[in-house]
Structure 1
Amino acid sequence: MTTAQLAEEATARATQHGYSWWLAHVMPAAACSRPVRLRLDARWDDGTTEHVTDDMPDGRLYVACKNRRASVCPACAETYRADTYQLVKAGLVGGKGVPETVTEHPCFFVTLTAPAFGPVHTRVTGTNGQVRPCRPRRFAPLCPHGRSTECRVRHAEDDPCVGEPICRDCYDYDAQAVWNFHAGELWRRTTITLNRYLKAAAKDRGVKVRLSFAKVAEYQRRGTVHFHALIRLDGLNPDDPDTIVAPDASITLELLSSLIDTAATVTRFATASHPRQRTGWALHWGTQTDIRRVRLATGDHDDHGALTSAAVAAYLAKYATKATEEAGHVSRKLTQQTANIYADQDTHQARQLTACWSLGNRPFYYTSQAQREAWDEGWGRLQKWAHMLGYGGHFSTKSRRYSTTLTALRAVRRAFQRGDRHPEDAPPSDADQLGDEAAVTLNWIFDGVGWLTIGDAALANTAAAKARERRRIAREEREESLARK
């Protein structure tokens, strides 16, 4: 679309009668890149039907897509990031129903990575901040396919070569796809193992404690998933299990760190049998396990190298809005046609996608209904998540007692937007406040995705940007006024 066409569409909308009404109508989704358009029909118990949205601008309701991925919708992803930041920070410094005494609880920032599936190009930075050669070898042997296993290049941060295998034919793409597919299960088993160790240590000391955590998944440049987790130690009140209390001092920081490291080291399991690997794949964490204490400090790091609560919350929130973009791949769900296209390409990303798709193919000799259903519920799901390089888990999760929930944060925001002072005292959404008990069935009809015209998108996004700027200025002026007082 040309600039002249965009100006024409925007002018046509802005000069329409009722433009202010339209702008106010679309403002809840104005910043969204791909809003969902809905129609609403109401059917009463006497058989009459009312098209509720016919009298609204455009005859539709615009709802923000609420996609968490920044590559899909930056505005909705920013809202998700801010919510995740508040959720994570509340579990570190208190607030949102969490007592402020959690700042005194032992807390660690843990990074668990995938094992190696073959040598890849990396960007190595020394303690002095200088970039080192990628893979220097004095006597570099050739791989079985005749390629050198060394690389003396000092890769730049945006070098597309970073994350690429030294030899694609040597790289174990099947094992990587299986590891991504089972990474969530490996994390679950690790938390079970850690809780068992902690329970035994607490029993020996005659105390009761429990772990709370929040974690996010992040893709490495090579295409594997690794986890960043905040693990906090809490005490256990037998009279009120939902209350967060300080843990006993007998569970020291050194002991908790040792238990986390041991659990990550010993946890391993074998996957179910697969036609390509009858005994299954043995899964475990990689050797690059990082366990760092989190402290309440003013800077990004304190003198002992411990991370601060604000820095950790911002880091986790940032990666909660990302997915496979870091690995150099962005796509929708694969089909057989698109899988065939990737199979004809010889790139690192194409081989990862092809490995996931081929591992999820149902064997031709599975003929019974029970065999087909078992496959589709197991290995067959690899095709469903092939576009995510095999990982189908949640990118942001937490234990129940770590802090508040995204649902609670969103409820407070909706109440604030409606002007309610106490959202918890508001009547339920299905309450008949007018006393009319006539039965009515509401039917939401999907009308499409996106703005009707590019001009509408430009006007809505501009209005949303101006509203954000006004709020930012008002917030800064309020903070300055409070500081002067």
Structure 2
Amino acid sequence: MVLRLPSLPPPDEETVVSTQFALYRPGLAVGRDAQALHRAASPGFSGWLEHTRPAGGCARPIRLAGTIAAVDRNTGRITSRLHTDELPDRTLYKACGNRRESVCLDCAWVYQGDAYQVVCRGLIGGKAVPVSVGRHPVVFATFTAPSFGPVHHRHVARHTCHSRQRCDCRPAPCRARSAAGTCPHGQPAGCFARHESDDPRLGQPLCLDCYDHDHQVVWNYFSGELWRRTKQAIERHLAALCRKRGIPFVLVVTASGKVRWVPPVRVSHGKVAEMQRRAAVHFHVLLRLDGVDPDDQDALVPPPAGITVNDLEDAVHVAARQITVTTPPHPGQPGGWLIAWGEQIDVRRINTTGGELTDGKVAAYLAKYATKATEATGHSFTRFTPAIIDDYADPDGDHLARLIDACWHLGRPAPTDTSSGATTADDRQASLDAGSNAYAGLRRWAHMLGFGGHFLTKARRYSVTFGLLRATRATYRRTEDDDTTDTLTVGTLTYIGSGWLTEGDALLANTAARQRRESSRIGWEELAHEAWLIGAAA
């Protein structure tokens, strides 16, 4: 492998000598380029580069120390043993595996590839999923949050651009109101600006005092329960259609041995949560109709002929209009909050004749959002603690500061709760987290503005799992250079730190990983082009 360093000047003899001297003097500061040059000039550079390859592009790899042993699967005998002291840097590097693009670009790239496979396999099959699922009816639905107050937005009535990511169309006025006047707090109730796509005002409330920040963070927190009930309602609607149309139910035997009659159709889903600029989540969901095999409940079979994609569309709209959740009582809201979907419920079919949505586009779209969190709001936070919360939460601050404050305020411990013997606020919060306070989790997820779910979830039968993809990749790496499958690798390792030893090491490892990633991308493009040429010739 040829490693090309980005814009590093050739070193002279004085630079090399001074760099080598400084690297062995811990008290002296050394530049990144000098560190990289010293590492690249060392005799074991090629071995070090291959050793760090599994964590090559990681921003903060995990460093492990201990023993790695090879064990014979048949006899259980240890055939070889290696201590990390014998490895370069006397440590084993492992990628951090963080899915967030803003934290680790390389690990997020790997996660995004896995997310694409998880979503795409549920649409077209492959990787242990039968290809027959590609003929099942599928819709792509978007569920949005309701309004919690007017915000600045950019609306284009008719797009003429080639790419929505680089949209340069002329938008309509934000909130043109000829007789809008002012709100009770004296702020203008209208906005005549035509916002550009990078306008920082987008998603910001017209009046911070009028906006219901408490309701929004509670909605984010309970949106997962709203989706769970919505999917149940979709399946109930389809089951009622089966009864109405005389489609017989299926007799199955459960794992516990009980005999049950179940509807002949079920819905499998893949769901991604996206954080909007106003910091409210909405869901992009793939809903696929499956049938039920009485002999094998895990089999993916087509739905009965009497249930079509039109019925699935109707079921989504009916469920979105009807299903609501009333949250438990709170001292600040004794009747709880009403959690419901917004008015904008978009349902589209995939792979229709002349349609814009294809399985590849949808899978890539969902995989992209699987690596994001709150970046759309302009900020990305780590988990808050009582020691730092005052630096971020402010009831009189900007939009995000008020949302964080709402999470922290609504999730606070009850002042009179002393039944557990806890005396401090942190102790009371810990006791309430056990389940006596339905809103205690808001403090835990304050850095996510109340949303505590995973950004990518799926039904068990929808597709393959991340675990299967990672296990397959690990097995391939172990057997890439050795065809022996009778050996099991067992590691007794201890965490000793995270991050590269020097900035120069990070530069070299990340540059090599970037080149491998680019080579992989070019290779996939060549394969896709070759397949297209073969198809065109046929």
SS state at 1:188 partner: helix
Specify which of 318, 336, 346 is matched with residue 368 of structure 2. 318
Bigger Cα displacement from structure 2, 160-169 vs 248-257 = 248-257
Q: What SS class does the counterpart of residue 178 from structure 1 fall into?
A: helix
Is 2:169 the partner of 1:109?
no
Residue 128 of structure 1 deviates from its aligned partner by: 4.9
Question: Do the aligned partners of 1:292 and 1:306 also contact (CA within 8 Å) in 2?
Answer: no
Q: 1:269 to 1:428 in 2, by over 3 A?
A: farther
Work out whether residues 328 and 349 of structure 1, in 8 Å CA contact, stay in contact via their aligned partners in 2: no
The answer to whether 1:349 aligns with 2:400 is: yes
What runs of 5+ residues in structure 2 fail to find an aligned partner? 1-7, 9-29, 70-80, 161-169, 249-263, 423-427
**Aligned 1:25-424 pairs, distance under 5 A:** 25-41=51-67, 52-129=83-160, 130-204=170-244, 205-207=246-248, 208-295=264-351, 303=354, 305=355, 307-344=357-394, 346-369=397-420, 372=428, 373-374=431-432, 377=435, 378-419=438-479
Tell me if the contact between 1:293 and 1:306 (Cα under 8 Å) persists in the aligned partners: no
Give the distance between the partners of 2:479 and 2:433, measured in 1 at CA: 51
Deviates more, 1:133-142 or 1:443-452: 443-452
Cα distance in 2, alignment partners of residues 141 and 118 from structure 1? 16
**For 2:271, what is the secondary structure of its paired residue?**
strand
| In 2, Cα distance between equivalents of 1:412 and 1:110 | 31
Q: Is the 8 A contact 1:219 1:324 kept in 2?
A: yes
**Aligned mates of 1:390, 1:317 — CA distance in 2:** 22
- The one-letter code of the counterpart of 2:247 is G
Check conservation: 2:68, 2:489, Cα contact below 8 A: no
TM-score by length of 1: 0.89
Which segment drifts farther, 82-91 or 161-170? 82-91
- Would you say the 8 A contact 2:413–2:432 is kept in 1? no
Normalised by the length of structure 2, the TM-score is 0.80
Shift, 1:60, TM fit = 0.8
Distance 1:119 1:481 in 2: 51
Deviations 1:358-403 (A, max 9, x none): 1111121111119953455332211111000011111101101111
Cα separation, partners in 2 of 1:139 and 1:412, compared to 1, 3 Å: same
**What displacement does 1:471 show?**
3.8
Distance 1:134 1:101, change over 3 A: same
User: Is the Cα contact below 8 Å between 2:62 and 2:499 reproduced in 1?
Assistant: yes
Question: CA 1:101–1:426 in 2, change beyond 3 Å: closer, same or farther?
Answer: same
CA RMSD of aligned residues (A): 2.6
Q: What CA distance in whole angstroms lies between the structure 1 residues aligned with 2:120 and 2:154?
A: 31
Greater shift after overlay, 262-271 or 204-213? 204-213
Length, aligned pairs only: 460
2:52 counterpart SS class: helix
Using the TM superposition, give the Cα deviation of residue 473 of structure 1 relative to its aligned residue in structure 2, in angstroms. 4.7
Q: Does the CA contact (< 8 Å) of 1:114 and 1:225 recur in 2? A: yes
Work out whether residues 292 and 303 of structure 2, in 8 Å CA contact, stay in contact via their aligned partners in 1.
Answer: yes
Contact 2:247 2:306 in 1 (8 A): no
1:467 corresponding residue in structure 2: 516
Give the stretch that moved more between structures: 97-106 or 308-317: 97-106
